[in-house]
Chains A and B, each alone.
Chain A
């Protein structure tokens, strides 16, 4: 039974930027609610591009029309033995194991172009676990965004957990609002049924949320330094 999880990303106010102070303040909010810091976490996302004989993975204009423009790989912090691959345009999520990237490496038909890490601290808060983190390119400290996971241990039904998660989200929003930061956290709303996923929460749901979160982060954030 996999506990339900919501992902949220920081959406800056118009004209505002994402910076590490917001991350610190968010962690402060977790502690002010009684959260106890419990360790670090890191989830990674990999952008693959098709290698084609007439374009060899060059600019988007050379992409073959029948091949997916974007292929994602997701390595979740809580299951290092698993690997997920998502074709968002087709609403397809594949669950594989940690050897899958080696298969792709051997095939040489798709290559990793960009790797992003979501990493930070986690906090235990009663039946909840909060993971607040930054989005940074691999081997770089350039902040691309801020997001968080809210995990609720007692339930694995998405529908049944909706009320308690919404209540928590409201409390969280109020706590953060007191800091008068230029922006707010927004729930990453994923269409799980489009991916063929059921009401029973799973690691595939988390992978899909990360893919959606990334898309929303990239659309919303203007970053400086």
Chain B
């Protein structure tokens, strides 16, 4: 399982966000360059349609592949009340022929994206991963070198935290608490419930950049 929130930030404020995240986490950022391929089952395959994502990590010297299945979100009155999405997730590493493998099984490429940016991984009440990326599309099949941003002035901020059935409440609390620190720069909410950019972002970013990163907001 994982807990997830997302938000958007203007590209001009990403550097300030990076300063804030570095100050809060105490860890260096990691480069993110992930080629994400979304595959869907062919017309006759499976009793119900299915979808699987293949992630190719291009930030490493040797690209590595991960298979990712995103499951349904937790439902019910309890789930409605929490501000963090809790969903099942299954991931597996795979050899580099995994795309050919799923094509052979009858899956088709639905769309592909290139996500470029950075991430911070740290522990603050729970293991938390904050990724800040621009989402890019490719003009030709698999042409990652020719990718262009889908929304040039806007980047996606995603906070994910691994969870289990017996601890997700604690993880939700940790993620929610962390989101409070980012509130002056961006608002984070469940995927699909975006509230847009934050009015105070400009002032908050200016404050962060002028202080050289050591100051809390």
Q: A and B bound?
A: yes
Which stretch (B6-14, B92-100, B135-143) binds chain A? B92-100
- In angstroms, Cα B104 to Cα A50, docked, is 12
Would you call B77 an interface residue if the criterion is a C-beta within 8 Å of the partner chain's C-beta atoms? no
Q: A50-B106, A67-B106, A108-B50 are in contact. Are A94 and B41 (CB under 8 A)?
A: no
Chain B residues whose C-beta falls within 8 Å of the C-beta of A52 in the assembled complex:
44-46
B71: interface (CB < 8 Å): yes
From A53, A94, A103, B97 is in contact (CB under 8 Å) with A94
Instruction: Assess whether A219 is interfacial by the CB under 8 Å rule.
Output: no
Which chain B residues in 30-74 approach chain A with CB under 8 Å? 41-48, 50, 52, 67, 69, 71
Q: Which of A53, A54, A85, A97 has a CB less than 8 Å from the CB of B93? A: A97
Chain B contact patch, size range: 20 to 34
Produce 1/0 per residue, B75-105, CB < 8 A to A: 0000000000000101111110110110011
Kindly name the residue among B45, B67, B107 whose own CB sees the greatest number of chain A CB atoms within 10 A: B45
Let me know if B41 and A109 touch, CB within 8 A. Answer: yes
Q: Is the CB of B91 within 8 A of A99?
A: yes
Assess whether B45 is in contact with A51, with CB atoms less than 8 Å apart. yes
- Does the CB pair A106–B69 fall under 8 Å? yes
CB–CB B92/A99 < 8 A: yes
Q: Is the interface of A mostly helix, strand, loop or mixed?
A: mixed
* Contacting pair B104 A103 (CB below 8 A): no
Taking a contact as CB atoms closer than 8 A, the residue among A50, A90, A92, A96 that contacts B67 in the complex is A96
How many A-B contacts at CB < 8 Å in the complex? 92
Q: Are B93 and A96 in contact (CB under 8 A)?
A: yes
CA of A53 to CA of B94, assembled, Å? 28
CA distance A193 to B178 in the complex (A): 52
Q: Which of B44, B71, B98, B107 gathers most chain A CB within 10 Å?
A: B44
Residues of chain A within 8 A of B107, CB atoms compared: 109
Q: Tell me the smallest distance from the CB of A225 to a CB of chain B, in Å.
A: 37
How near does chain B come to A194, taking the closest CB pair, in angstroms? 14
Let me know if A92 and B101 touch, CB within 8 A.
Answer: yes
Given A52-B46, A99-B92, A106-B88, output 15 extra A-B contacts at Cβ < 8 Å.
A51-B46, A51-B47, A52-B44, A53-B46, A54-B44, A68-B105, A87-B104, A94-B94, A96-B94, A99-B90, A103-B67, A103-B92, A108-B46, A109-B105, A204-B95
The 4 closest A-B pairs by CB, nearest first: A109-B46, A95-B95, A99-B92, A107-B50
Instruction: Give the interface of A toward B (CB within 8 A).
Output: 50-54, 56, 64, 66-68, 71, 83, 85, 87, 90, 92, 94-100, 102-103, 106-110, 196, 204
